[in-house]
Amino acid sequence: MEKIFKTIDGLRDYVLELQTNMTALPAVSPEQGGKGELAKSKYLEAELKKMKFDEIFHIDAPDATAEGGVRPNIIARYYGKNRDVTLWLLTHMDVVPEGDRALWKTDPFKLTLDADGDTIYGRGVEDNQQAVSAALTAAKAVMESGAEIPVNLGIMLLSDEETGNKYGMDYVIAQRPDLFGKNDSFLVQDSGDPQGCEVEIAEKNVFWIKFTTEGKQCHGSMPASGNNALYAGSQLLIRLRDGLYAKFDKRDSLFAPDNSTFEPTKKDANVPNVNTIPGTDVFYMDCRVLPSYDPQVFKDEIASIIKGVEKDFKVKVTWEILHSAVSKATSPDAPIVKLYCEAVKEVNKVEPKVLGVGGGTFAAAVRNLDLAAVVGSKIYGDPHIPNEKSSLKFTLDDVKVITYVLMHLK
């Protein structure tokens, strides 16, 4: 390991180069006002082709709304001694929009290196370009060191993670169910902490839900002639949030936070003027439910709350689950979990903490295939906010964790 780690220490500038070039190629999904991942994918594929991968191929999803009509998914594999086993590094190329530019201290799509020579700023530098950089750098380090790896190293650069995986991980699994072997292991560096001690083996069930309340539009001076959808929708929002928190109140110390969460988030515009009572109102909720609950019981409770609001306010409510991720857990005794914990101790010099999280990652999809996955990284943990940042040193530590796991897999 000493030779590989020494090679990794010399690749700081390579990480900076990758991050600089990726940040300048904003891979925002069409759903969020962008062009998609095509430009970034072309750059990254060119980088992969500079290395010694034994196979590089695409499983692209068609999407007429995206640049080039596709959402690219790139798979690369470097063969090890045992070609029947692969350590997969799952990453995503897409990023969220920059949000309010006034809140940024720097241009979100031009990487800025801090005076400390380590901290970098820009949209996507952490989520998920740190993982992309770590994956490519791990491959480069292994190849340049000349080390023989015991199993294959696989890298997946995927689209559409930020908006539900329809064109990314879910598409890849549907098109190539044969891609993963029963003994393969998976690392997903899309969650973590600044010490690099967190080892995520389970995720809450995720539901993104759209609620539409239909009343009757009327003039603001004559409310009795209509039915205020905003008022009824607001009552629905309160009943849903309060009711779901009250009913699904179990605690599980594996997770942080240790409870299920049910939070209203997005709100659509209704009427454009103040003196019109809206006939339609739309809001959204992000629900993260402990896996000990049956998802159907959760859905039934929502239906029951809706029924009460419809009766009390004489409105029609429709609801739609825009995205859901229900997954199994990886056993804490799985070899990849134990090996990852060993790597964390060796590289980060901290005691690993095995836990579950509320966020959703690619791990959910592979765990549902009865495959073992670990999520972890040494990150600041500030994705999706203004002035998103990453650390070059953190990335190199992640690379060392990856290579430690790779070199000790059987």
Q: Annotated active-site positions, please? A: 94, 161
In the chain, helix, strand, coil percent, each to 5? 35, 25, 40
Q: Which residues are 280's β-sheet partners?
A: 214
Contact 280, 229 (CB under 8 A): yes
**What b/e string do you get for 332-345 counting C-beta neighbours within 10 Å, with b at 16 or more?**
eebebbebbbebbe
Both tokens assigned to 93: 């190329």
Q: How many residues does the chain have?
A: 410
Task: State the Cα–Cα distance between residues 282 and 277, nearest whole angstrom.
Answer: 14
Q: What phi and psi, each to the nearest 5 degrees, are found at residue 394?
A: -55, -45
Nearest-10 crossing angle of helices 12-23, 392-408: 110
**Closest C-alpha among 131, 124, 137 to residue 48:** 137
Q: Which residues are 210's β-sheet partners?
A: 284, 320
Both tokens assigned to 146: 């000349």
SS3 396: helix
- DSSP secondary structure code for residue 69 in this structure: G
Both tokens assigned to 17: 């180069």
User: What's the sign of the alpha-carbon dihedral 195, 287, 164, 388?
Assistant: negative
Both tokens assigned to 187: 């690392």
- E-strand ranges in 79-220 read 82-92, 112-113, 119-121, 151-158, 185-188, 198-203, 205-214, 218-219
Q: What element of type H or E holds 389?
A: strand 389-391
